[in-house]
Structure 1
């Protein structure tokens, strides 16, 4: 599978409505992998919408993120208006022409971001040998999107050391690592050569808030911060993010809820006879028979799934948010 064939985003309901004008309504979006049960928004001071973000709120978010991710050095973490901004900007911090190896197939925005910055990008299917030839930047997603593949931190550490010794980077996208904190390298934030991206919106179900974090050596954090300038993260995002990241009870309960919900979905897929390729507790990657256009069947039923170019029958499905959505999905999968 070529990583370039992975579509970079979930679907657009406007596009889907044009493709399926007679689809059942309302639409149910299963394409994004975002938690369908978002963190309950705290009561916000209306003044947050009118004034510029405050330094005290930014500091509170930083403290909460450091505690949540296990970061010890405050100079090694930076809040951003979504991890996508970081994905687009980081490639410009290295001179054009670097060799970028991306472990794929994976999230489709990484490859074009590095290509736009003038780098040589290649897809690889497994981690390189630390003792062998190494790229200038090794990029991986852990857990991987869309197949949920994971990388043991113990295997990553020798690679990190080898890359750092030659001025290279290991860039780890941990967008879904809230589900598997045991996989995270966040506690090593600040170590030479290590860059970690964390996404807030996926696990907390608040993608529209646009909040993410860079964990990196302080010099790189300063470089990115300088490009952002002041007030990069909105005041409401600062407050909501700090509240949610500090709520350990909600986090633990949500991990249990997501695991139980995915178990129900996997039971349905098994009964429907579809092949499970992989996934996480927020999404499953399945393969159906080539002769069955399940993507179209789902679309006609008002269910938006994630498809992949050049790989017919491969779909990624998020969690149905309620019994209505589950019933509708069941009727399509087991007619």
Structure 2
């Protein structure tokens, strides 16, 4: 992989090319839960006061319980997992890093920017996106062997049973969590690093004071404490992912992988599929490394008809 940044989203470009109003488009180019956590009303001082220690402690305690963080590991809340990805490569002496691809390309971009080289054989450092984006590959604990290991679990909250968070207490191993995907609140910009205390302390210093806003602290704690919502959401996502597979395979696509938040399909011509879907106001994800792979997120409950019509 080249390290060029290629992402889902980009709906502005789709609108510029195909027209239509933003609220008429169905954006399936990301893997964000289309039924977000209901944030509810927030205390007024969450907006007006600097984030206090009590709010931070509540969020960290909720995160520790929700992800069953090992006792020897520490947790840091940050303004999005991407802020952590950009900083992590600077916490270890540069060398070679193993980043099996295709995968989420911000990891490679961050390591290259910090002076690292990407190698297929490096044992010094490794990145494991678990489950992988876009093919959903799951890693085993025995495969995490590097002295400096980044385990990106941004899409793992649909599969808590498969989490590798138990490894977070090992020296040099950090597990990343994204709040935007499973809880559907990407605009909140909240992510977490779970690792040995020394590594978390170094990350904390790099972020500076008050890295997470008051509203994000309050909403994040409230959501992580709501285990019932998480259980119900996992069931719905599992059902909707199967429904999407049924729709796409009926039209000639083949399931090539994915998670319960996004599905990867193999098609005859991915660009042609994207164009046809766009004519129906549906935005999808294709990749510069493949002419035949198409990725789709899940529609909101009231938008399945639009996808069916576009297909």
Give the match for residue 285 of structure 1.
264
In structure 1, the gaps of 5 or more residues are: 125-132
TM norm structure 1: 0.88
**Alpha-carbon offset, residue 189 of structure 1:** 2.4
**Counterparts of 1:61 and 1:54 in 2: how far apart (Å)?**
11
Residue matched to 1:146: 134
Q: How does 1:177-196 map to 2 (within 5 A)?
A: 177-196=156-175
For the 8 Å contact 1:293–1:313, the answer to whether it is kept is no
- Which position in structure 2 is the counterpart of 1:271? 250
1:170 aligns with 2:149: yes
Aligned residue number for residue 83 of structure 1: 81
Return 5+ residue gaps in structure 2 as ranges: none
Is the Cα–Cα contact under 8 Å of residues 24 and 302 in structure 1 kept in the other structure?
no
1:249 aligns with 2:247: no
Contact between 1:23 and 1:299, CA under 8 Å: does it hold in 2? no
Match for residue 128 of structure 1? none
Give the corresponding residue for 2:205: 226
Residue 238 to residue 291, structure 1, CA distance change in 2 (3 Å): closer
- Residue in 1 that maps onto 2:114: 117
C-alpha displacement of 1:277: 0.7
Shift of 1:207: 0.5
Check 1:238–1:25 CA distance in 2 against 1; reply closer, same or farther (3 A cut).
closer
Contact kept, 8 Å, 1:142 with 1:149, in 2: the verdict is yes
Distance 2:21 2:36 in 1: 26
Q: What TM-score do you get using the length of structure 2 for normalisation? A: 0.94
Contact preservation (8 Å) 2:255, 2:264: yes
Contact 2:73–2:168 (CA under 8 A) maintained in structure 1 = no
**1:95 positional shift:** 2.4
Separation in 2 of the partners of 1:49 and 1:121? 42
Q: CA deviation at 1:292?
A: 7.0
Root mean square deviation of aligned Cα: 1.9
Structure-1 separation of matches of 2:20 and 2:229: 39
**Paired residues, what number?**
311
